[in-house]
Amino acid sequence: MSSWQRPSQAKKQQLTAVGGSGKRSAVYRTPAPQAVQRSPAPDEEDLSKLGRLLSAVMHEINSPLEAVGNALFALRESQKLDAQSYAVVERAFDELQKVRQTADNTLSLSRPLLTLEPVDVRDVLDSVLHLFRNKVHDERIRVDRQYGTVTPVPASQSHMRQVFTNLIRNALEAAGHRGKITLRVRQTQIGTPGVRVYISDSGRGLDEESKRHWAQPFFNKKTDGTGLGLWVSNEIVRKHRGYIRVRNLLHGKGACFMVLLPATRAFGRLKEFAAA
């Protein structure tokens, strides 16, 4: 049985006791494939409604957030603040950035995949690593890049950047000071042809609850964050006809997220894909 976990759908065997006359025997029954491959329809419908509702709300507050952010930025850069006032404005600006990140994450679900282009995921990963270069340096985190030879995949560049920003940020936070993250990129012809990206860390790994619920909105076991990043990433990859799987590494040496992005021949014409 594969150790990769589907979102909220880890494969389980059901133990049923049967028999009579005081004798009991155990029979293992594995659920039908349909039961583990997709969530019940009501759950998917509820998540879709939630996504539309959140997108509508975030559209309404995005402009005020932009205005407040610009005002705080101008105040912070004015050089007319004493040290205490500057610290207050800096804190407010940082907190506002978190809110704006939540808005951007949520709005991405409502953006159609209008422009699909050949995307080399290795370039996307390197651009995201560049964003986190200061954190990597300050925390002395080792980054192991294991890039194989892969073909570009048809994708939305901005959406892919958001997916890997969320996953790499989580990996860096899990690895911590003097930790390590590993990025592996491989071409695959097994199952769905395409490109697989493995992002692993040297942290403590995921507990059972996290492995079951990581793709659910607002699920969060960190002291900060919104619990939307992984959900949004999973929905974006699903829009690309791909999927994300997660498992813990052996001997409790961290977690690994695997993203599969299908090749062109896996989903047919691009126009049909972009309109889905």
Residue 226's pLDDT is 63
How far apart CA 43 and CA 138 sit, in angstroms, is 42
Which domains can be identified in the chain, with CATH numbers? 41-110 (1.10.287), 117-275 (3.30.565.10)
Residue 28's pLDDT is 37
Scored b (16 or more CB within 10 A) or e, 135-169 reads: ebeeeebebeeeeeebebbbbbbebbbbbbbbbbb
Amino acid identity for residue 142 in this structure: R
How far apart CA 58 and CA 44 sit, in angstroms, is 21
How far apart CA 25 and CA 198 sit, in angstroms, is 41
Report the candidate in 104, 97, 94, 92 with the shortest Cα–Cα distance to residue 58.
Answer: 104
Tell me, yes or no, if the pTM score tops 0.85. Answer: no
How far apart CA 73 and CA 270 sit, in angstroms, is 41
Residue 252's pLDDT is 65
Residue 59's pLDDT is 67
Residue 31's pLDDT is 42
Report the candidate in 200, 202, 197 with the shortest Cα–Cα distance to residue 180.
Answer: 202
Total Cβ atoms within 10 A of residue 24 = 9
Averaged pLDDT, groups of 10, the chain, 276 residues long: 52 39 41 38 55 68 78 82 86 76 63 76 95 92 96 90 92 94 94 92 85 73 70 88 90 88 61 40
- For the four alpha carbons of 77, 78, 80 and 85, in that order, the dihedral sign comes to negative
Amino acid identity for residue 195 in this structure: V
